[in-house]
Structure 1
Amino acid sequence: MNKTRRYIDIDRKAVKSLILIFLFLLIMTGCGKKEEVVSTSEEGGPIIDFEKLKKENGDIFAWIYVPGTPINGPILQNADGDDSFYASHNVAKEPDAKGCFYIEAANMANMCDFNEVVHGVPTEELSKFLDRSYFEGQQYIHVYMEGNALIYYIMAAYTRENTRLLEQYDFSYASGCQQFIDEIYSGRTMNKNIRSGWETGLEPSHFLLTLTSDDSDRQIVVIGCLVGDAAGKIDREIDWGDPEEDFSTIGWSKP
């Protein structure tokens, strides 16, 4: 295993500007002087009072914001490990067919997994990213957390077989991360957009965020790669071993 923090290089001037904005937002988030749970900064981004949000629902751990889209709201993880709860309930834990943004129990709420899979984005919103002109116009996913703010650069969008990513790929091993990277780069069709300059370069040591729809007949994914970490907290151990060998060593069969 080795510990690493790596990002793909993009326009550093643009990212630096965004990080400065994020640092301002972090200060504002912690000042405790806001009357509203969410307000808007001069740059158009949200300013979040996580203390008040968590009083309303302790399952809230982050806020996602994609400029130029309606994707703007809290991300939750069910404390009881029920991965289907927020598919049919809103932030107030009330039954709601629209659900809300959430991650599964298999993902970590500190955003340090190789691939943080965010469910609950309406299919009609993700399908817009399949249009090349729309895709080119949307570049960043912002994630605000208590004490940190992250920037992901949107580098791919496509349709795929409707399978559960966290079940299909074992992201706890570098080999599972590489398998997903291979999926991203393979089979370019009319339904796949890859950001120019990003046709190669992803590695298991990077950090991804995947927005996914939950349609019954197809799955749309929009993938961002971490390029900014205001507090420098995003890191993880990477296991470059062979999962088959690890399971056989302890006498188990890999599921």
Structure 2
Amino acid sequence: MFFMKKLMIRTNVMYRMRRYIDMEKKAVKGFFLLFIVLGLTGCSKEASNSVGNTGFETSALPTEQESGFDSVKELNEDAFAWLYIPKTEINYPILQNAEGDDMFYTDHNEFKEPDANGAIYIEAANLNNMCDFNEVIHGASPADGTRFAGINNFLDKKFFDEHEYAYVYMQDNSLTYYIIAAYTRDNTRLLEQYDFSYASGCSEFIDELYSKAGMNGIIREGCESGLSPEHFLITLTTDSVTEPGKQTVVVGCLVGDAAGKIDREIDYGNEDQ
């Protein structure tokens, strides 16, 4: 049985850069961070040092994992992190086009070579320090099973139950995400639909997650509630292989921040003003 606790933690909140909004911020400190505990086996199962020192064991990168990040970085300055999901084919650099072209990596690979399968990437509207509320990571689902084709497997309950964690490695940090939901949604851009620079936009996405994952997807047992704008998510997106015109999303919540660098300011202001 898995269950979720919320611990009240006082954090030092850093100033968060904004890319598209020029306004005076109202600084609000976040006090609630997700603390996920494994009820039967304890915190030792693939756990890492969690945000706010909530009791997870410190862990190095998985010993069997060699990301190749340095070699990719030497060839492409757009690479800023590496995504790895154990026991899957998902083991790729994450890129962000330096010129702000969100379509570039839909038909170019991690070496900037033309490639119909594209690469794994985030849009310009996301920060590449992984400090946004929701880092939306895109990838195609080619027939050969590479890139993000495996994301669709998370809609199978047995597969979902057997794959709990996703890791994001950076040059100066190692992040652990607990995979909490998988579902299908309309093929719209999340960063256009929701303004994650405001708490209200974060809450709207949380509402979508609980609603849609409850209807046509999967929510991990014990994670049916408790998310708030104070958390840090990754959403992996790809084309649905069973529902044309839809996308499959897999959502993970940050539970491990080895370097203690993931933080942000949360704006509870009115986004319409």
TM-score band, normalised by shorter chain: 0.7 to 0.9
* Correspondence list, 1:4-19, <5 A: 4=30, 6-11=32-37, 13-14=43-44, 17-19=47-49
| 211-220 vs 186-195, which moves further | 186-195
2:195 matched residue in structure 1? 170
1:74 matched residue in structure 2? 93
| Residue of 249, 254, 259 corresponding to 1:226 | 254
| Residue of 108, 113, 122 corresponding to 1:94 | 113
- The structure that is helix-richer by fraction is 1
Provide the rounded CA distance (Å) in 1 between the counterparts of 2:253 and 2:46: 16
Provide the rounded CA distance (Å) in 2 between the counterparts of 1:208 and 1:188: 15
Provide the rounded CA distance (Å) in 1 between the counterparts of 2:218 and 2:176: 20
2:66 matched residue in structure 1? 46
Provide the rounded CA distance (Å) in 1 between the counterparts of 2:266 and 2:237: 24
| 8 A contact 1:159–1:219 mirrored in 2 | yes
Provide the rounded CA distance (Å) in 2 between the counterparts of 1:72 and 1:22: 22
1:120 Cα shift? Answer: 0.9
Provide the rounded CA distance (Å) in 2 between the counterparts of 1:231 and 1:95: 35
Indicate the SS of the match to 1:3. coil
Residue 269 of structure 2 corresponds to residue 241 of structure 1: yes
Provide the rounded CA distance (Å) in 2 between the counterparts of 1:208 and 1:15: 20
- Equivalent AA in structure 1 for residue 192 of structure 2: E
2:184 matched residue in structure 1? 159
1:103 matched residue in structure 2? 122
Indicate the SS of the match to 1:126. helix
1:121 Cα shift? Answer: 4.8
Note closer, same or farther for the CA distance 1:189–1:225 as it changes in structure 2 (3 Å cut).
closer
Note closer, same or farther for the CA distance 1:78–1:91 as it changes in structure 2 (3 Å cut).
same
1:28 matched residue in structure 2? none
TM-score by length of 1: 0.83
Note closer, same or farther for the CA distance 1:5–1:232 as it changes in structure 2 (3 Å cut).
farther
| 8 A contact 2:96–2:128 mirrored in 1 | yes
| 8 A contact 2:48–2:258 mirrored in 1 | no
1:191 matched residue in structure 2? 216
Query: Any gaps of 5 or more consecutive residues in structure 1?
Result: 26-40, 247-255
1:13 Cα shift? Answer: 2.0
Indicate the SS of the match to 2:34. coil
Q: Deviations over 1:181-207 (max 9, x none)?
A: 000111455631000000000000100
TM-score by length of 2: 0.78
| 8 A contact 1:88–1:98 mirrored in 2 | yes
1:217 matched residue in structure 2? 245
Aligned CA-pair RMSD:
2.1
Q: Deviations over 1:23-70 (max 9, x none)?
A: 544xxxxxxxxxxxxxxx63x2235453x4322100000000000110
- Equivalent AA in structure 2 for residue 125 of structure 1: G
Moved over 6 A (4+): none
1:2 matched residue in structure 2? 28
| 8 A contact 2:80–2:128 mirrored in 1 | yes
- Equivalent AA in structure 2 for residue 164 of structure 1: R
- Equivalent AA in structure 1 for residue 202 of structure 2: C
Note closer, same or farther for the CA distance 1:16–1:140 as it changes in structure 2 (3 Å cut).
closer
1:128 matched residue in structure 2? 153
- Equivalent AA in structure 2 for residue 3 of structure 1: K
Q: Deviations over 1:129-188 (max 9, x none)?
A: 111111001100100001100000000000001110000000000000000000011145
Residue 75 of structure 2 corresponds to residue 56 of structure 1: yes
1:214 Cα shift? Answer: 3.8
